[in-house]
Every structure is written in structure tokens, then in C-alpha cells.
A and B are shown apart, each in its own frame.
Chain A
Amino acid sequence: MTNLLLFPILIPILTASVLLFFPKRIAAQRAVTVVGLVASIIAALFLLRTVMTDGVQAVTLGSWPAPFGISMVSDPLSVSLVLTSLLITLGVVVYSFRSIGEGREKYFYYPAILFMLTGINGSFTTGDIFNLFVFFEVLLLASYLLIVLGGEKRQLRESIKYILVNVVSSAFFVTTVAMLYSVVGSLNMADIAEKVTEIGQSGILTVIAVMLILVFGLKGAIFPLYFWLPGSYAAPPVPVLALFGALLTKVGVYAIIRTVTLLFPHDPGFTHELLMILAILTVIAGCIGALAYYDLKQIVIYNIIIAVGVILFGVAQMNMAGLEGAVFYLIHDMLIKAGLFMLIGVIIAITGTSNLREMGGLMKTYPGLAWTWLVAAFGLAGIPPLSGFFGKLLIVQGAFEADNLWGGIIILASSLIVLLSVIRIFIHAFWGEPMPVKGTSAGIYRGLLIPAVLVTALTVFYGVGTEWLRPLMWDAAEILHQPSIYIDAVLKE
């Protein structure tokens, strides 16, 4: 079935369209959403099996020959990102039942999530750079709705900022696509890659490459462009924050990975060096932020920025170890960030505050939550055998192989700061004298904790099952390392 790779995009958009007809019937909304997500996950699993056995899948819409029609491409990297996004969204949707509140559920919360998922899966799958812009806009418009839904004053203030930043960055994106089209004369990413190899990466193409890094860096929150992120992500309620933190920045990171490995890999002395410096600065800026705050949300949000830096540092090495580590770490980070945000949601639901100074002693009353947090925190910091370890090991190995000794050491040192920042939450929230808390009913506590535990268990499985996942990650990194496999798969028809 050649159209299989379209199903993880089509099923969410169809489900969302159906949901628009009966917004006030919450039970039906929930049921249809879960059914749609499960169906998408099954489709994505089939797709994963097909990609693993038959290699890269490509389909060109309308049966036009490849460089003329819009290509959709599923390689091991994109299909594993699609599957991870779907799993996380299912977890967050189940988590939302007990936390998002009826008001939001009645006003198109679930359709917005599914439309955003359409955009995310589309961005991961598309093989056409203008189509990438369109899917970016799909996910952005849905995210505008999610960030402002509820209409609290703080949300309104942050939404304006978020939307303006993204509108300007979209304008930059279109400008860059226009320039790329005038130089190369194609929009198909495989075709562009081939043409850039033929004509050589001249100065103007390097300028375009840097502009693309800036456009995607604005969405992926790399060093000088992350200023909007901590405020905007903290405004919406926790389930939305979990989705944004786990998925949205990673779309930007994925697009940067494609830019520097597929489209413009020919001038590593400039573009990859630049990316590496920006990545290290991103890690340092994130570390400073993660230690500076006493606010649960802010600490974990700054950890997103650190992770973006670590992944891009791995990509900038451009050797197999670095790229494989980056792919490993990318998927690890999506899962673990979703888990961490869901867990701080539980803490906030119990204590009624996100300020670390106003909580303590939860260990005695909520031991299950405490131990899950500890496992997730160790996973984030990369303590073996949990999920963060292997990706970081490979990234550091890649850095040493590429003679970037200091970069590797900074990445290693950042793990300690990451560990410190999340253990600080553990110490303040779970140890010490019990503070009077708002408390929450046992039903809500279970309803929130169970999805959070499941996502955390998934990360543990991801870490322990590294050996089992290795072939998939190896294939993904090999295609990034040798783009000709990707190009041949798209242009062969």
C-alpha cells in the first residue's frame, strides 16, 4: 500500500473535522479523539514495519513524477518521530480528561490538538520545502488556538507575543523559500539536494542555509532566538504545555537536521561550525535558566532549551556517532519532556502552586509520585540504563571523533546541571517538612498520575530496550549521513 505514509496525517485531520460538529458533547469528544489517535498509532506502526523491511517510502501526490508533484517521504527518522508524537499526544489527551476542565473541552480543545498533530506529522513526513511551510502554518494556527484557549489575561498577553514572533518567522521562511527557488528552481527537497550537489554550494546558497537555520531556530528555540519561549510556554495549562514542550520545538529541530544533512551538507566549515557554536551557547543559556528559577514550569522549560542544544550539537558533528546520538536523544527528549511536564502538572494540582518555596514533604503523602519523578529525573540527566544515557554517550563520542573536545566536555558538564536542576525540585517538593497543601481528590490524582507513569515507563523501556531499537536508529542516522539514499528513494519513480 503506497499511500500508507499518509494515514498518520489524514486520520487526525479527519477525526478533528468530525469533532467540530458536536463540540458540547464532552464524552463523545473524548471517545472519538482516543479512537482516532489509536487508529493513527496502528497506521504508524504498520508504516514503521514497512519502512524497516522495504526501506524509505515515498509517494508523490496526484501521481505527478517526483520533482513536479508534492512528495511525501517516510524514512526511519520521520516515521519514528511520527510514532513518538502520536504516543505522546495519546498520553496527553488521557491526562487532559482530569485536568483541562470542561470549559476548554467544550470549546474545541480536542480538535485543536488533532489539527496540531496533523501539522506536526505532516512536517515530519513532507519532502517538499513549501509544503513544509504549509504544515508549519497548520500546526502554528492550531497552537495559537491552544495557547489562548481559556482567555486568561496572562494567556492573552503571551499569545500576542507568541503569534507575532511566529508571523515574522513565517515571513522569513517564505522569503528564504523564494530565494532558494530563484537559485535552484525546485521545491522538492531531494531535487534541491541533488541540484545543490551539481552546481556546488556557492555563497548565496550558504546564505540561504543560514537563513533556514535561523527560521527553524526561531521555532526550535536555539540560542539568540529562544527569548520568547519561557514566557509563552508557561502561560497555557499544563497539558498544553506538555504538548508544546514535547513536540513543537522538536519540529524546528527536525527541520534544522534536514537542512544541514540533506539540503546543505557541503560547507561544514561554515554552516556546521556555526550550528555547533549556537548549540553550545544554547546549552549554556539553558543551564543558567534552569538553575535560576524556583518555578517548576520554568525549570523544566529551560531544560527543553538545553536539550535542543545537545541534539543540534550532535547533528553538527556530521559523523555517524554524532548523528545517531542526536536521533536517539531527540526521541528520548520528546518522551521524557512529556513525562516531566505531566508530573509537574500532578505536583501543581496537589499543591496549588508552581513555586518550589511553597511546597515540601510530599514524599510522605504521595510516594508513588515521588518515585516516578525520581525515575524521570534520572532519565532526563542520562543515568544508565535510563533513556538519556545512550544518546548522550553517542553524541559525546561523535564530538571526540570530530576533535571537538571542549564541546563534548561542555555537553557532559551540562548533564550535571540538568541533574542538579531536577533533583532540586525533588529535594524542595518531596523532602523536608510537609507544607499545608490544597490537596486533590483521589480520583483526579489517579487520573493524572496514571498517564504520567505510563509515559515515564515508556522512557524507561526506551532506555532499557536500546539494543532492540538500535537498528532503527542506525538506519535513520545512515540516511542523514548519506543523503543519496533519501534522494534516490524520492526521485526513482
Chain B
Amino acid sequence: MEFHMIILVGILVTVAVYLLLSRNMIRIILGTAVLSHAVHLLLITMGGAGEGGVPLLRESDGPYADALPQALILTAIVISFATTAFLLVLAYRTYEESGSDNMNTIRRIDRE
């Protein structure tokens, strides 16, 4: 289980890096979203995915699953959600100002 998850994380990171390196701003933002998913998957895998029972005292006799990584991921997901929302608004505003979503054009705004 963990082995498969790690492979999946690797694939997701590859996709994210490919998207981050493109010139189109929306693709870059999608790249950051995919990257954050990859990182969250890694976080849950590192806590030992698929092992142990429900971490509730009367529901199982243990060993219990580690509940902490899930709490961490919840926090990290909220943060990356907020950042992605902010980036999308910023991208739209930049598109309005510069009339382009191409990073090569945006790089030159205000420099001519």
C-alpha cells in the first residue's frame, strides 16, 4: 500500500513540475494545486497508511492508526485552498491589466 502511494506521489510531482515549468499562467496554478496534492499524499503515507484500526477506544483493540497526519493534512489542505484561490484571483487581475496569460508577456509589463 505505502509503496504504491509513494509511486503515485512521484507521478504527481512529475506532473506538477511539468505544469509549473509551462508559460501559461493557469497551467502554473494547476501545477501548484497538483503539487500540494502530492505533498498531502506523502504526508498521509508517511504516517503509515492502511495500518491499524480506528483510533477510538471501544471500537478496536489496537494497534491504532495514527490520527495525527490526518489532522495535519486537513490544515495543509485548507491553507493550499486559500493560496490557490488567491493565486487565481491574482491571475485574473493580471490578465485584465496585461491582456495576456503568457508569462513571457507578463514578465515584460511595466518594463518597456
For A137, list chain B residues within 8 Å (CB).
Answer: 79, 83
For A170, list chain B residues within 8 Å (CB).
Answer: 79-80, 83
Closest partner residue, chain B, to A174 (CB atom): B39
Closest partner residue, chain A, to B71 (CB atom): A130
Q: Is A168 an interface residue (CB 8 A)?
A: yes
Interface Cβ pair total, 8 Å cutoff: 94
CB distance from B106 to the nearest CB of A (A): 6
CB distance from B83 to the nearest CB of A (A): 6
**Are A160 and B32 neighbours in the complex by a CB distance under 8 Å?**
no
Which of chain B's residues 1-60 have a Cβ closer than 8 Å to chain A? 20, 25, 28, 32, 35-36, 38-40, 42-43, 45-48
Q: Which of A177-185, A196-204, A263-271 contacts B (4 or more CB under 8 A)?
A: A177-185
For B91, list chain A residues within 8 Å (CB).
Answer: 160
**Are A168 and B46 neighbours in the complex by a CB distance under 8 Å?**
no
CB distance from A337 to the nearest CB of B (A): 26
Q: How many angstroms between the C-alpha atoms of A133 and B40 in the bound complex?
A: 14
Q: Chain B contact residues: over half helix, strand or loop, or mixed?
A: helix
Number of A residues contacting the other chain (C-beta, 8 Å)? 29
Q: Is B65 an interface residue (CB 8 A)?
A: no
* Interface pairs (7), CB distance under 8 Å: A137-B79, A141-B79, A151-B93, A160-B106, A170-B80, A171-B32, A171-B35
Q: Which residues of B contact A (CB under 8 A)?
A: 20, 25, 28, 32, 35-36, 38-40, 42-43, 45-48, 68-69, 72, 75-76, 79-80, 82-83, 86-87, 90-91, 93-94, 97-98, 106-107, 109-110
A-B contacts besides A153-B109, A156-B97, A160-B91, 11 pairs, CB < 8 Å? A130-B72, A137-B83, A141-B86, A144-B86, A156-B98, A163-B87, A170-B79, A174-B43, A175-B39, A177-B43, A181-B68
Q: Which residues of A contact B (CB under 8 A)?
A: 130, 133-134, 137, 141, 144, 148, 151-154, 156-157, 159-160, 163-164, 167-168, 170-171, 174-175, 177-179, 181-182, 187
